[in-house]
A = this chain, B = another copy of it.
Amino acid sequence: MAPRNRRNPLALAVLSCLYERPMHPYEVAQTLRHRVKHESIRLNYGSLYSVVEGLERSGLISARETVREGRRPERTVYEITDSGARELVEWLSDLVSTPVKEYLQFEAALSLLPVLAPEEAVDLLGERANALMVQIAMRRGARAGAEHQGLPRLFTIEDEYVEMLQEAELDWVERLVKEIEGGSLEGIEQWRAWHERLAAGNGSMAPSAEGSDDDDETTGGGTA
């Protein structure tokens, strides 16, 4: 009973399905698809089967039977165990109650933004803002149009969360663009200066701000 690895939320989704009733892995996938949970939880068959294997090894689920219909591949039906049900609730509670640090692609990009020229950055951020507007509109359309086939909000609450994040990001990006264009973003002079020197053929540039006065290499840097 190796202590489970709580990295992949697909395992959590599998547990939650088997909590309802026993299923075979492919059926779990179908269920998640029908409920559109694969848009919040990464689901691909490669991972699914290894995740299921892992859950079995840890004693959180157990194979109940393997059926074969005609000459189609065997289906192994799994059921959740008591410790599996406990793990489901514990893990889920943990995810709800405790924010974890996520490493977002856009965050990474922002952290290296000075590599791009300021005008470039403004254009690209503008593109992003447009894309976000489109995505938000589509999401709203999907929700309003189909009204989720009478599915109460509770069961698509994750969708509202993501929409709200996108809206917040859109606002922020638009403000950032204005700050760059208006020159009110601290550090923009250095940014412009470097890229002008770059354009003039002077190769070396440093996207960090060690140039001013105190060279704190090796000691200072950290925020304690």
From the candidates B21, B101, B113, B165, name the one contacting A204 in the complex (CB within 8 A).
Answer: B21
What B residues does A107 contact at CB under 8 A? 40, 158, 161-162
CB-nearest residue of chain B to A219: B30
- The answer, yes or no, to whether A223 is at the interface (CB within 8 Å) is yes
With contacts A30-B218, A116-B92 taken as known, whether A36 is within 8 angstroms of B223 at the C-beta atoms is yes
What B residues does A187 contact at CB under 8 A? 151-155
- The answer, yes or no, to whether A200 is at the interface (CB within 8 Å) is no
Q: Is the CB of A41 within 8 A of B103?
A: yes
From the candidates B12, B98, B172, B220, name the one contacting A108 in the complex (CB within 8 A).
Answer: B12
From the candidates B41, B99, B131, B172, name the one contacting A161 in the complex (CB within 8 A).
Answer: B172
Number of copies: 2
Residues of chain A at interface, number, CB under 8 A: 101
Q: How far is B31's CA from A27's CA once the two chains are assembled, in angstroms?
A: 48
With contacts A185-B154, A224-B146 taken as known, whether A35 is within 8 angstroms of B208 at the C-beta atoms is yes
Q: Is the CB of B155 within 8 A of A34?
A: no
Q: Is the CB of B157 within 8 A of A176?
A: yes
- The answer, yes or no, to whether A60 is at the interface (CB within 8 Å) is no
Interface residues of A (CB under 8 A from B): 9, 12-13, 16, 19-21, 27, 30-31, 33-37, 39-42, 67, 77, 88-89, 92-93, 95-116, 120-121, 124-125, 127-128, 131-132, 135, 142, 146, 148-155, 157-158, 161-162, 164-166, 168-169, 172, 176, 185-188, 190-191, 204-209, 212-214, 216-224
Q: What are 24 residue pairs bridging A and B, where the CB atoms are less than 8 Å apart in the complex? A: A9-B105, A13-B112, A35-B221, A36-B222, A40-B111, A41-B108, A89-B115, A92-B113, A96-B109, A96-B121, A96-B124, A97-B128, A99-B169, A113-B154, A114-B154, A114-B155, A149-B216, A150-B214, A152-B209, A153-B185, A154-B185, A157-B185, A164-B168, A168-B168
